[in-house]
Amino acid sequence: MGRLHDLHLEQGQSPWLDNLRRGWVTSGELERWVERGVRGLTSNPTIFQKAIESTDDYDEQFGDLVSSGGDIEDAYWDLVTTDIRSALGILAPVYHSSNGVDGFVSVEVAPDLAHDTDRTIAAARHLHEMISAPNLFVKIPGTQEGLPAIRTAITEGISVNVTLLFSVERYADVIEHYLQGLEARSGDLSAVASVASFFISRVDTEVDRRLAAVGSAEALALQGRAAVANARVAYQLFLEAFSGPRWDALAARGAQVQRPLWASTSTKNPDYPDTLYVDTLIGPDTVNTIPDATLADFEDHGTVARTIDVDPDEARATLAAIADMGVDLAEVTTLLEAEGVSAFSKSFDELLAVLETRAAQLRS
């Protein structure tokens, strides 16, 4: 047993792996991560771009797909879903032993759909039906246009990982649409699950930049504190939303809480501790999806202790102090959402271009 097991057994938090590549499946590396305490897995277009571009693990399958005359984007999805299905099989024992709480693998709808409700719904249905596994999460961006898609997916029994959340206000909207989706679904609700992926480190990166521009000692003293405070306030919202008569009625029908998932938890600033966004966000009914390098750091020297709700008032005071410095957090989170959608779209487009080039070489 190590720290990853302790996170779950002692603190009720589920550590997930924020990475996937073909070589990890074929070599047994992913199974070893599960043995070490990993309880789920997330992926995104950038992760697949790096995996497919940086190795030759996909060349044989891609060559076969090109030889059969398939479309390049269809070939991309064949490569992705092959990895996802393999990971789903490896995580299935965790799913069953946890009674459907953990053991999930996430695959994201195409990033260019982030502002198209109807096409997002269609894509979520397609992935859900095509992959057809109870421990699949379809990732839907938590944009304004994504909210109705989230509600519809939940109503139809599609488990959803809501991604690209930065603001507490948008998180409140996501919770509401999750609850509405459950309320519109008839019968037993226990087979439907969801997490809400709240992005962490990028908040500090942008807020720190703005505090540095202010330049005062008071502003500089607030650097590195916005992201954790933002997440801790979000956790208080989670506790409030999933309690009381409305939630009790859904829980009686088997509904699961929509757990907060802390994403983007590697430390971008080398001056900060490498396990900052793991050590400070530990608490029950939460998930932290962690890149493999940070997972290894936490296994080596992380601290297992409940920290997510250590002082909610202090977290609110920190955000208020940052606002007093002239940093508009609403403006920051709006910017980060747009940048997140753009970054995933860029990765998706760049990978398709690489695959087009490889296909042309194979055909010649």
Q: Is 314 exposed, middle or buried (0-12, 13-18, 19+ CB in 10 A)?
A: exposed
Which structure tokens are listed for 33?
Answer: 């991560």
Tell me which residue of 76, 52, 57, 54 sits closest to 65, measured CA to CA.
76
299: buried, middle or exposed (CB in 10 Å: 19+, 13-18, 0-12)?
A: middle
Of 273, 202, 287, residue with least CA distance to 238? 287
Question: Which residue in 50, 139, 268, 346 is the catalytic one?
Answer: 139
Q: Which residues of 5-26 are buried (b: 16+ CB within 10 A; e: fewer)?
A: bbbbeebebbbbbbbbbbebbe
**Which amino acid is residue 343, in one-letter code?**
A
Residue 334 tokens read as: 């709006």
Q: Report, in angstroms and rounded to the nearest whole number, the Rg of the chain calculated over CA atoms.
A: 20
Torsions phi, psi for 303 (to 5 deg): -115, 120
Residue 139 designated active-site = yes
CB atoms within 10 A of CB 78: 15
Give me the phi and psi of 285, to 5 degrees please. 60, 35
H or E element that contains 141? strand 136-141
| Tokens 């997916």 -> residue | 153
* Whole-number Å distance between alpha carbons of 9 and 2: 11
Distance CA 262, CA 242 (A): 18
Please state, in angstroms and rounded to a whole number, the distance separating the CA atoms of residues 82 and 20. 11
Residue 283 phi, psi dihedral angles, 5° rounding:
180, 165
Q: Which residues are catalytic, by number?
A: 139
